[in-house]
Structure 1
Amino acid sequence: MIENDHLRSNELLSHMKEPPKRVDYQRLLSLGRELLIAIGENPDREGLQETPRRWADSWREFIEYDPGVTETTFSSRTTGQMVCVSGIRVSSLCEHHLLPFWCDVSIGYFPHENVLGLSKFARIAHQFAHQLQLQEQLGQQIADEVSRITGSENVAVVLKGEHLCMTTRGIRTPGKMVSSVMRGIFHSKSEARMEFLQLI
């Protein structure tokens, strides 16, 4: 009964979050058409007539993404147990070049009084990926949110990303970027940090 009450209160709180961003869809349609003209294309030719709409749709889908309920927790009956979730893949856009990047996200934490619902890890990761981003900032935001919802300061996040701003422009060389956030026991205790890294 207590768990159900806690679950309901968290779901109510999740609906009180600030409303999602909204794009100016009509302006996006105009910009898509202008972009084609700016690169020397004819937006009225066959093959491009629907491109501004598709482009506007993709931006709207990206920016207005709704992760759903992210704050579902359950009372924890165990303490001192590390929880790890790995293999979460998210896509985002580099805020420096407006080019895509994607990351495989791994999250670990030591529950305090509550454990986070399993699907919520992916929802949290996607929530912060759907904006203009930096990989380092994305990791920090995921860690902040997991810590806020669970009440645990012992949170670790590792991201392994590939960025098109590196592979398709500039140096044009494939490469993986790895970034990590280690807080609480993951920062202070090498044993916990190594166990997490081995598990993921």
Structure 2
Amino acid sequence: MTHAVYRPAPGHSVTVPPPADPISSPPIDTERVAELIGQLLSALGEDPDRAGLAGTPNRVASWYAEFLSPDASAVATCFTESHLGEQMVVVGGMSVWSLCEHHMLPMHLEILAGYVPAGEVVGLSKFGRIAQRYAGRLQVQERFTRQVADEISGVIGGKDVAVAVRGTHLCMSMRGVRMEDARTTTLHTGGRFRSDPVLSQQFLTLATGQWRAA
């Protein structure tokens, strides 16, 4: 089994809607968020009306509204391809920012996703869109990894999916033990990636090699 990314000829596509998101995002009350940020600044001993901070509550509220409201309307395009040759398709180089739900501090997540196509391949940009959608919320890395893998499984209509994520968490880098070089790695496998040790090892080798080169 090879592990090169296969790019099919365009022209044979079918639109596949994403599976229902189990976590809906209610509208964000930006006025209330701005008010609370102003109160937080006051509680921290700052004057929210001073020069430099006057627009900060609104800017922070606007950022939260944008970051926590990712576009969920994107759909996947699948391309019919009869000459796949039992390839493992791996998409790497993806990275997103999310917010740790325990401390509301940023975490940077690097994602490597692989699957074994059966008659169709998925448009490559879809993988990044899936990652962005699940990153735009209060998260934990373990849940994020599973959610990305589950949605890819829904798109391809099968369980032959593997997702590896390496995270840098500011809740560990800038607070607590303050270990700047600490990294957390999570792995979710399904189908043949779980039952076939050779396929699993090929995927893990690619993930490890990519992160070492970064």
- Counterpart for residue 98 of structure 1: 104
Match of 2:195 among 168, 188, 191: 188
Rounded to whole Å, the distance in 2 between the matches of 1:181 and 1:41 is 44
Deviation at 1:115, TM superposition (A): 1.4
Q: Secondary structure at the match of 1:186?
A: helix
Q: Which amino acid aligns with 1:161?
A: G
Rounded to whole Å, the distance in 2 between the matches of 1:46 and 1:157 is 46
Q: Does 1:135 align with 2:141?
A: yes
Q: Secondary structure at the match of 1:72?
A: strand
Match of 2:177 among 171, 178, 196: 171
Q: What is the correspondence of 1:15-164 to structure 2 with a 5 Å cutoff? A: 21-66=26-71, 68-77=73-82, 78=84, 80-164=86-170
The answer to whether the 8 Å contact 1:70/1:123 transfers is no
Q: Deviations over 1:57-109 (max 9, x none)?
A: 11011111215523221223225210000110010000111000011100000
The answer to whether the 8 Å contact 1:113/1:151 transfers is no
Rounded to whole Å, the distance in 1 between the matches of 2:29 and 2:88 is 44
How many residue pairs match? The answer is 194
Rounded to whole Å, the distance in 1 between the matches of 2:94 and 2:193 is 20
- Counterpart for residue 3 of structure 1: 12
Q: Deviations over 1:157-199 (max 9, x none)?
A: 0001100000111111120001101111111111001111223
The answer to whether the 8 Å contact 1:22/1:63 transfers is no
Gaps of 5+ in 1: none
| TM-score normalised to structure 1 length | 0.90
| TM-score normalised to structure 2 length | 0.84
Rounded to whole Å, the distance in 2 between the matches of 1:114 and 1:49 is 53
Rounded to whole Å, the distance in 2 between the matches of 1:158 and 1:93 is 18
Q: Secondary structure at the match of 2:12?
A: helix
Rounded to whole Å, the distance in 1 between the matches of 2:124 and 2:74 is 12
What is the Cα-based RMSD across aligned positions, in Å? 2.1
